[in-house]
Amino acid sequence: MTVEETPVTVLGLGAMGRALAAALLGNGHKTTVWNRTAGRAEGLDATVARSAGEAVEASPLVVVCLLNHDTVHQVLDPVGDSLAGRTVVNLTNGTPAQAREMASWVGERGGRFLDGGIMAVPPMIGTPAGLILYSGVRQAFEEHEPALAHLATARYLGEDPGDAARYDLALLSAMYGMFGGFFHGAALVDSAKASLPTFAELVAPWINAMTASLPRMAESLASGDHAASFSSVQMQATGYANLIDASRDQGVSTLLVEPMGSLLDRGVAAGLGTGGLSALIELLYART
Ligand SMILES: NC(=O)c1ccc[n+]([C@@H]2O[C@H](COP(=O)([O-])OP(=O)(O)OC[C@H]3O[C@@H](n4cnc5c(N)ncnc54)[C@H](OP(=O)(O)O)[C@@H]3O)[C@@H](O)[C@H]2O)c1
């Protein structure tokens, strides 16, 4: 006997919503979809609801993937009475405060809420390479984990609905830092008519090698022990000035690299020069 998959509704058929709906359909879920602009379900073998309310009422599990928090309210507010007894999984990017607000709002209407952070691009959805972080009502996650696992690898972080958004944004911060560094490096190479393919060949292994130090830095932050084993802040602040100077020499904007240079200089001025780089994290916020 085959196990019947949970019927799922998907609200929002942008690039990500379509990928989510396709993954559910591909795994045998009866999938009902709704999108503000008609016609976005073309090519999906889904049931197309005439309204958001009709879509919500079609399934016990409602996945929302819209542009931002405001649009989620615009779509859900008129259908709030239909949420009782259902689980709402909001995969729309947002802040921890927005996730907590939405959790209360859904809870007040008798629904269960999970917030999700998608750590994937659409082609990774429906594959284990995609990761979606969840937080909120544990029982709802456990009950719907089989369906959520069809979207991507599903990782539950805890009952605080804000956690998925917090970790999502923290991971995006690391990603954009990497892209910003890559953009600047590419500009530095290309503005000198040096070889971009050579840069591309060298950069990924270098970044991969450097990511090995991240868990150790997190440990240093947790313990407060920032002793430098081999690369002091002073040494790095000195070398970093060359990065700024070479950029200026070549007419490359220092917009992306100046903040890190300032932080290194602040670290030296604060007496952290002999310590390791992780000490600089403590200059970003008041640690309690
Ligand atoms: N794409 C990615 O690589 C990616 C990766 C991770 C997370 N995400 C997150 O996933 C969410 C959706 O991203 P996406 O790539 O699918 O974006 P998208 O292609 O721009 O789609 C946006 C969706 O929001 C809907 N929408 C916008 N304003 C609306 C409104 N006022 N009322 C009702 N619906 C409205 C759009 O409907 P219409 O078709 O009617 O405009 C569409 O369904 C975002 O929060 C994004 O940050 C995306």
At 171-183, the pLDDT tens digits run 999 999 999 999 9
Cβ–Cβ < 8 Å for 287, 226: no
Cβ–Cβ < 8 Å for 54, 61: no
Q: What is the mean pLDDT of residues 202-209?
A: 98
pTM, to two decimals: 0.95
> Looking at ligand 1, which residue's alpha carbon is closest to its atom 41?
37
For 102, 106, 151, 247, the CA distances from 145, given in Å and listed in that order, are 20, 19, 10, 49
Instruction: Provide the 8-state DSSP code for 60.
Output: S
| pLDDT at residue 2, as a whole number | 56
Average of per-residue pLDDT values in the chain: 97
Rounded CA-CA distance 12/84 in Å is 20
pLDDT at 1 over 50: no
Does 6 sit in the ligand 1 pocket, CB within 6 Å?
no
Strands 61-64 vs 47-48: parallel, antiparallel or unpaired: unpaired
10 Å Cβ neighbour count for 54? Answer: 16
Q: What is the mean pLDDT of residues 59-72?
A: 98
Cβ–Cβ < 8 Å for 217, 282: no
Alpha helices in 83-162 (DSSP H): 96-108, 138-149
Of 36, 73, 175, 176, the one to substitute when testing ligand 1's pocket (max ligand atoms within 8 A of C-beta) is: 36
| pLDDT at residue 229, as a whole number | 78
| pLDDT at residue 228, as a whole number | 82
10 Å Cβ neighbour count for 198? Answer: 10
Residue pointed to by tokens 């084993």: 229
Does 122 sit in the ligand 1 pocket, CB within 6 Å?
yes
| pLDDT at residue 3, as a whole number | 66
Q: What percent of the chain has pLDDT over 70?
A: 99
